[in-house]
């Protein structure tokens, strides 16, 4: 190429340099974006949806609602107390339970059980739920999230591993975390 054709040798080299750097930039951007999106793009590992023990059945008297804790299966050594997740267990009769996520279905605040009024109340925005987890009043548009459960060897097991949120498919679909009301 020459200046007579409208492009000098140096101008062509500048364009070549820009092209080369663009190609390298794209080449480097792909792994960087993949790295940043890894919580989304990676396969859901074992632990997102596991059977976890809440303890022996006799810890949960019939007709009462008790606070229980499980250790999330997908934790690191440095996660500290955040790996211990609380939930509410209601024993309806000998073989029937309801296990509620502690998070309010409105904005995820911790609901608290008031046996005096048989209501779950949320301290953030006043959401209230009946003892069966169905919505009683306040801003939540649904009942409390429920974990699936089973009884095995005299222990209560729940299927858990992921924080329930209103937009989460597993929290809404039938057969996942059941919706109250």
Partner 1 sequence: MRLIQKLGNWFDLRLQLGTPIRETAMHRVPRETASWFYVFGSAALTVFMVQLVTGMLLALIYVPSAGEAWNSLQTLNHGISLGWFIRALHGWGSNFMVAIVLIHMVQVFLFGAYKFPRELTWIVGVLLLLVTLGMAFTGQVLRFDQDAYWGLGIGASIASRVPVIGPWAVNLMLGGPIIAGATLSRFFALHVFVVPGLLIAFVGVHLLMVLKLGINEWPMPGRIVRRATYMQEYHELTQKEGVPFVPNAVWKDILFSGFILIAIAVCAIHFGPLWSGWPTGSHDYSDRTTPRLLFFVAVCFALVPAPACRDAHPADWPRHRNHCPHGAPIRRGRRGEELEAQADCRAHGSSDCGGARHPDPLG
Per CB under 8 A, residues contacting partner 1 are: 37, 39-40, 47-48, 67, 69, 72, 74-86, 102-103, 106-110, 112, 121, 123-128, 135-138, 141-142, 161-163, 165-169, 181
- Hey, which residues does 120 pair with through a beta bridge? 113, 129
Give min distance, CB of 179 to partner 1, in A: 10
Q: Is 104 helix (H, G, I), strand (E, B) or coil?
A: coil
Return phi, psi of residue 141, to 5°: -95, 5
Decide whether 49 or 57 has the Cβ nearer to partner 1: 49
- Shortest spacing between CB 10 and partner 1, in angstroms: 29
H runs (alpha helix) in the chain: 9-36, 38-41, 169-172
- Nearest Cα to 99, choosing from 29, 153, 157? 157
Quote the CA–CA distance of 136 and 118 in Å, as a whole number: 11
CB of 10 or CB of 42, closer to partner 1: 42
Tokens 């309801």: give the residue: 98
Closest contact distance (angstroms) between CB of 77 and partner 1 is 8
State the Cα–Cα distance between residues 148 and 174, nearest whole angstrom.
10
Closer CB to partner 1, residue 55 or residue 110? 110
Nearer to partner 1, 22 or 69 (CB): 69
Euclidean distance between CA atoms 76 and 57, whole angstroms: 29
Q: Which is nearer to partner 1, 90 or 106 (CB)?
A: 106
Minimum distance from CB of 142 to partner 1 (Å)? 8
The CB-of-122 to partner 1 minimum distance in angstroms stands at 8
- Residue 156 has a CB neighbour count (10 Å cut-off) of 21
């Amino acid at each position: 190429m020459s200046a007579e054709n409208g492009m000098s040798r140096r101008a062509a080299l500048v364009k070549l340099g820009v092209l080369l750097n663009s190609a390298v930039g794209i080449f480097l951007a792909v792994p960087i974006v993949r790295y940043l999106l890894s919580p989304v793009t990676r396969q859901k590992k074992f632990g997102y949806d596991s059977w976890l023990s809440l303890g022996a059945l006799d810890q949960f008297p019939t007709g009462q609602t008790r606070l229980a804790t499980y250790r999330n299966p997908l934790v690191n050594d440095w996660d500290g107390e955040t790996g211990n997740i609380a939930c509410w267990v209601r024993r309806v009769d000998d073989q029937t339970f309801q296990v509620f996520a502690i998070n309010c279905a409105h904005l995820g605040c911790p609901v608290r059980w008031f046996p005096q009024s048989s209501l779950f109340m949320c301290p953030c925005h006043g959401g209230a739920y009946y003892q069966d987890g169905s919505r009683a009043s306040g801003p939540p548009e649904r009942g409390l999230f429920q974990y699936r459960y089973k009884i095995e060897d005299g222990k209560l097991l729940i299927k858990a591993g992921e924080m329930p949120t209103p937009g989460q498919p597993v929290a809404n679909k039938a057969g996942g975390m059941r919706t109250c009301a």
